[in-house]
A and B are shown apart, each in its own frame.
Chain A
Amino acid sequence: MKPELLRREQLLFNDVTEGTAISPLLKGPYTPVDMAKFASMYGDFYPGHYDSKWAVEIDRIPKAIVHGYQLVTHLSQLLTDWISPDGFIRKLSTQVRAQVFVGDSVTMKGIVQKKYIKDGESCLDCSVWGEKPDGTVVIQGTAVVILPDSQTVADR
């Protein structure tokens, strides 16, 4: 059976205040199959990303390691799930902080830091991050997203 598609009622600029939390997004537990599939799309087949034997023997890390860009992709989904369909990510800036291994789960989270209008666009500055169940932050960053206001929706 196909997964159910996410259809959001549009979040508006006026619905959000500084301090508003973004609905969290749980990802994982990451499996070697997830990681190999991501490798095929992203084009990085380094064995340390899906072969734990390689990770231990060659890279001397405990297990196969999730691609950093898979985490960035999941952080972008945190935002698109929240701002769709009409919102737009203008900027996403991230840093990987800790290694994520096969079997780990990560919850992507975010919070609105600032609301402002720039060049006629309704912008939100957000802090975004991903954390393991024990609270370890594995990726963190900032994002600028653009949301429609009630007028732009009425005009369409």
Chain B
Amino acid sequence: MEAETTELEKLMTPEERALYERFKANIGKEFVPHNPHSMFYPWGTEDPVQWSSIKRWATINGDFNALWFDPEYACKSRWGGVIAPPLYLLAMDDPVAVAEDFVGEIYDANCILRRDKYPTFRGSMMANAEFEFFQPVRPGDRIDVRQKCTDIYWRQGKRYRLLFLLGETTYTNQEKKLAAISRGGAVYMFKSIESRGGDLK
């Protein structure tokens, strides 16, 4: 696998190399994510979790578990009150967010690699996603979200050269208890070298 990475590293275009080096230099650096496109947390996660946001998340996902909606029912559970569905944390951010200073420079407003800057870029997709949960999130919680890029490497796909970007996000509540950790990857697809010049329409 390392040989594959090394081989593919040699094939990088100058702009791909700059991107790769920029991410490499960022590995392990913790940052507080900020996603202005999130309708729940456009200003970061400093505001307490709203029950209305939990209900909206659940409603939009078609998840009508009484545990998210009905205080009387939820009070009788081991949680003693309403909690959020586990994946509600995605409203705060996913495992692979990008440092804010990358937006504009590397990414467009949709957080997609800038196609004007990276002409060999074909698209991106989600790789794996893993969540470990320790505490449920409740209305009123203040969740401190921290992220870091944990690795970046190349693999050869069937059609494209694939750049894997891995990240880790921790979600800690106001009692300094770890609520969850998410780990995951995004895959950036780049044109294969053989087709360079031919495939780009």
Complex partner residue of A96 from B39, B87, B112, B126, CB under 8 angstroms: B126
Report the Cα distance A84→B161, complex, angstroms.
43
* CB-CB contacts below 8 Å: B100-145 with A: 110-112, 123, 125-133, 136
Interface residues of chain A: helix, strand, loop or mixed (majority): mixed
- B63→A95 contact, CB < 8 A: no
Report the Cα distance A27→B77, complex, angstroms.
27
Q: How many interface residues does chain A have, given as a range?
A: 35 or more
Inter-chain contacts of A43 with B (CB < 8 A) = 35, 37-39, 41, 91, 93
User: Interface centre among B110, B111, B112, B129, by most A CB within 10 Å?
Assistant: B129
Given contacts A76-B87, A91-B131, contact A85 B77 (CB under 8 A): yes
* CB-CB contacts below 8 Å: A22-76 with B: 27, 34, 37-48, 59, 67-70, 72-74, 76
Inter-chain contacts of A72 with B (CB < 8 A) = 87, 90, 129
What would 8 more interface pairs be, CB under 8 Å, given A47-B110, A92-B130?
A6-B64, A6-B65, A43-B38, A44-B37, A45-B110, A85-B77, A89-B131, A96-B126
10 nearest interchain CB pairs? A43-B38, A68-B126, A85-B77, A5-B66, A43-B37, A93-B130, A43-B35, A73-B87, A40-B39, A86-B78
